Structure 1
Amino acid sequence: MRRFRIGKSDFEEDGVGLGEALADAYRRKVRPLCLCSKPGSRMYIAKIGDHYIVKRMPLSGGEHDPSCESFESPYELSGLGALLGSAIQLDSQSGMAALKLDFSLSKTGSRAAAAQTGPGSNSVAGETKRLSLLGLLHYLWHEAELTVWTSRWAGKRHWWNVQWHIGEAAKQMIVKGSSLAEILYVPEAFRKEKKEAIEKRRMEALLPAIPPKTGSRRLMVLVGEVKSFDPARTGHKLVVKHMPGFPFMVDDVLHRRILSRCEKEISLWEADDRSHLMAIATFGLNPAGLAIIEETALMVVGENWVPYETIHEKKLVDALAKVSEKSVKGLRYNLPADQPIANALFQHRPSPVALYIVPVGAGEKYEAALEEMIAARPEIGAWVWRVGDGDIPLLP
């Protein structure tokens, strides 16, 4: 049972009076303390409808006791560790994460659009000082806790949950001195009977993307589920679920690059009817009010919205979906595919266990890096599936 300190009072997670205390603290912008460890870890309060939820501050998982729901295993086991202190910088006073991006949020004149695809494909090898577009999507997914799953949640994670959690996570991130939430657009769940109100809110949210009469145009960031890429009179258009009648225009050059560089993601999506294809893209509005995509990246997630990169990761994600214990999916961020990561973790147990997948054809360099990663964290057990040896082993 988690305990929180709000002001001078302590509350148990399901204790009497916590709801009122959280509502008051939310209005006064007071941060609760999680008392799982001394002297306590600062949290923040998120509001969903009339309910208030206490959430972990960005990158603070290591401050919590391993028995606490907010605990996270070392970030070095995923691609996140390489970005801390450079691409992602945490302000210890405000608790906000300042992000450095390797893509532009403005546009002057015309230039060829880009397709950011697999990890490491869009940057010089070893360059981790800035977040790629895909890396930003991974970080949003991680901070929104959409990488966490337990079978007890089956049938309870829907698009409105995903949209809300991503929006709350973005409020804790800063890009060039401003909140990422100001330029991030994640479409709300569409309801035909609420069409007019939804479109009005969308128009208000996209105001930053309206082009000025002179000077560079400000771009926004879209995170949405791909419904289809359809032909247009010139080029193509990305149709996003929950945005009927509002296409995102894609020129022929970018469309060809998407088909070429995102072939893996598209093929995985097409192979499983229950999976979702997520797009993150920078876009602006032209004088006609049409949304024009500048750069994009794609990510495949399973029916529970947990990401996967290969058919073997899909098998692991499916196996974890049946387990009542919480698991956490590891993400690659900017790391190239030939560098190992912990593909998943069981971290809320006395002895955490990292789950590793070794692909067919992994060479000596890959195996050496994996051994080094495991040896560096002797307190964390290792489950290894060498795909070339056969089907997925029993989970630990």
Structure 2
Amino acid sequence: MTQWKAGDAAASRAMEAMRRFKLDDQTIEETAPALQKVLADAYRRRVQPLCLCQESGLAMYIANVGDQYIVKRMPLSGCGHDPACPSYEPPDELSGLGALIGSAIQIDSETGLSALKVGFSLTKLGARAAPVPGVEGSDGVVGEAKKLSLRSLLHYLWHEAELTAWTARWAGKRHWWNVRWHLIEAARQMTVKGGILSDVLFVPESFRSADKVAIEQRRVDALAPALPPRTGPRKLMILVGEVKDIAPARNGFRLVIKHLPDFPLLLEETLNRRLQVRFENEIALWSANQDSHLIAIATFGLTLAGLAVVEEMAVMVVSENWIPYDSIHEKRLVDALARVGDRSVKGFRYNLAMDKPTAAAMLQLQPKPVGLYIVPPSADSAYDEALNELVASRPEIDAWIWRTADGAMPPLPCR
């Protein structure tokens, strides 16, 4: 097992890589003024671009998103890119994502669309909200086939929107408006229950009092699918937004989302009580740090009176830079990575049990990327054995390990 040592930092060379693509006999940089014109032509002719981060070139594909053409990596090819390339992605098996690929997440290698199997409903019979399911329904595996819980869907959206990636050069440049844009663009590449996820996803736009009327009209249009029909089951939508408050109401509770000042969502008392128990850790971490954000994902519908009622809900806590974390130890790691000039990618557990080791994050150093592992104080010999096997399974990736029971966080492998 190769582990990074503090003295190795001088040997690493970090660079802010700029991608170059080859389309037929033409090579072009992603910052070239003519890029959109070249990509549009290649898209029409079905030319497959190659990323030149590797000498032999790696196959990519062109996605048409609105009026923009974007070069994206092929599914499951991220770890084949050079660690300095923005298209590089840590191997799926180093996080909880590996257990979901091919089952809960099925990726079409031609279109790049991810077909998601989810363990929650997007329809509702009756007028009242159902109690939130228990831990199994919220985060676990449903039945024999693995499915994404609401929280795992939020994780996958965050991951595919590349909101888990960070470099110190981005400090002060990530705000809700671009978080929202990336989430919606990622959702356009996913399908849920046969439809495009972005069609049922509602992410509130940044509120500006001067544009209040126009914003409210766009919200009405966006929520049209959630209007109750004359007969039959009601369709539900999925909200992703930042929690401002969960406050008592005359009957139950009100979920107040930032950028939705005049649009509270109603929670039944039972749902709120179970939410507070299941996500006690996340809520406590959010309360302990005033710069962090609490992100909610919820299914909801509209009543005949136009009120939004939450059916199921989950939350995750993210840092000032919108990087997720699950513990005070991960928060310290995320804060340290925020000051590093090299690109890092935060990992997720998804449905993986807490006693299974994963890489908390990945640092894209040269010549080798480094997996960052945090060993909890409760880890036993079985955990250590599983961690050693996980690290040994990827010899092309170095390992940095923080055994929290031993004390302070070791120095990070950076320049």
Whether 1:69 aligns to 2:86 is: yes
**In 2, Cα distance between the equivalents of 1:25 and 1:127?**
43
Q: Where does 1:345-356 land on structure 2 (aligned, <5 Å)? A: 345-356=362-373
Is the 1:31–1:45 contact (alpha carbons within 8 Å) kept by the matching residues of 2? no
Distance apart, 1:186 and its partner CA: 0.7
**In 1, Cα distance between the equivalents of 2:183 and 2:362?**
21
Match of 1:221 in 2: 238
Match of 1:380 in 2: 397
The amino acid of 2:357's aligned partner reads P
**In 2, Cα distance between the equivalents of 1:164 and 1:59?**
23
Distance apart, 1:392 and its partner CA: 0.7
Match of 2:3 in 1: none
Label 1:72 to 1:158 Cα distance change in 2 as closer, same or farther (>3 A): same
**In 1, Cα distance between the equivalents of 2:48 and 2:241?**
30
Distance apart, 1:27 and its partner CA: 8.5
The amino acid of 2:196's aligned partner reads S
The amino acid of 1:229's aligned partner reads I
**In 1, Cα distance between the equivalents of 2:208 and 2:46?**
32
TM-score (ref. length: structure 2): 0.88
Match of 2:59 in 1: 41
Whether 1:283 aligns to 2:317 is: no
Distance apart, 1:46 and its partner CA: 6.4
Label 1:60 to 1:107 Cα distance change in 2 as closer, same or farther (>3 A): farther
RMSD over equivalenced CA pairs, Å: 2.4
Q: Where does 1:150-229 land on structure 2 (aligned, <5 Å)? A: 150-229=167-246
Label 1:286 to 1:25 Cα distance change in 2 as closer, same or farther (>3 A): farther
Distance apart, 1:26 and its partner CA: 7.2
Match of 2:269 in 1: 252
Secondary structure at 1:114's aligned position in 2? coil
| Number of positions where the alignment pairs a residue of Structure 1 with one of Structure 2 | 394
Residue 160 of structure 2 is aligned with which of 143, 148, 161? 143
Is the 1:22–1:45 contact (alpha carbons within 8 Å) kept by the matching residues of 2? no
The amino acid of 2:171's aligned partner reads A
Match of 2:14 in 1: none
Is the 2:317–2:326 contact (alpha carbons within 8 Å) kept by the matching residues of 1? yes
The amino acid of 1:232's aligned partner reads A
Secondary structure at 1:385's aligned position in 2? strand
Q: RCO higher in 1 or 2 (8 Å CA, sep ≥ 6)?
A: 2
Secondary structure at 2:250's aligned position in 1? coil
Match of 2:130 in 1: 112
Distance apart, 1:30 and its partner CA: 7.4
Match of 2:282 in 1: 265
Distance apart, 1:195 and its partner CA: 0.8
The amino acid of 1:40's aligned partner reads L
Label 1:251 to 1:87 Cα distance change in 2 as closer, same or farther (>3 A): same
**In 2, Cα distance between the equivalents of 1:205 and 1:29?**
33
Is the 1:219–1:284 contact (alpha carbons within 8 Å) kept by the matching residues of 2? yes
The share of aligned pairs that are identical, in percent, is 59
Match of 2:9 in 1: none
Q: Where does 1:94-113 land on structure 2 (aligned, <5 Å)? A: 94-109=111-126, 112-113=130-131
Match of 2:339 in 1: 322
Match of 1:3 in 2: 20
Distance apart, 1:275 and its partner CA: 0.1
**In 2, Cα distance between the equivalents of 1:40 and 1:78?**
23
The amino acid of 1:280's aligned partner reads I
Label 1:60 to 1:175 Cα distance change in 2 as closer, same or farther (>3 A): farther
Distance apart, 1:5 and its partner CA: 3.8
**In 1, Cα distance between the equivalents of 2:258 and 2:42?**
36
**In 2, Cα distance between the equivalents of 1:28 and 1:280?**
39
Is the 2:228–2:234 contact (alpha carbons within 8 Å) kept by the matching residues of 1? yes
Secondary structure at 1:307's aligned position in 2? coil
61-70 or 348-357, which moves further after superposition? 61-70
Secondary structure at 2:282's aligned position in 1? helix
Deviation string for 1:261-312 (max 9, x for gaps)?
1111110000000000000011111111111101011100000000000001
**In 1, Cα distance between the equivalents of 2:99 and 2:166?**
24
Deviation string for 1:99-127 (max 9, x for gaps)?
0001111112356321676x996435996
Match of 1:243 in 2: 260
The amino acid of 1:236's aligned partner reads F
Q: Where does 1:330-369 land on structure 2 (aligned, <5 Å)? A: 330-369=347-386
TM-score (ref. length: structure 1): 0.92
147-156 or 361-370, which moves further after superposition? 361-370
- Segments of 5+ residues of structure 2 without an aligned counterpart are 1-17
**In 1, Cα distance between the equivalents of 2:406 and 2:271?**
39
Distance apart, 1:44 and its partner CA: 3.6
Label 1:210 to 1:16 Cα distance change in 2 as closer, same or farther (>3 A): closer
Secondary structure at 1:80's aligned position in 2? helix
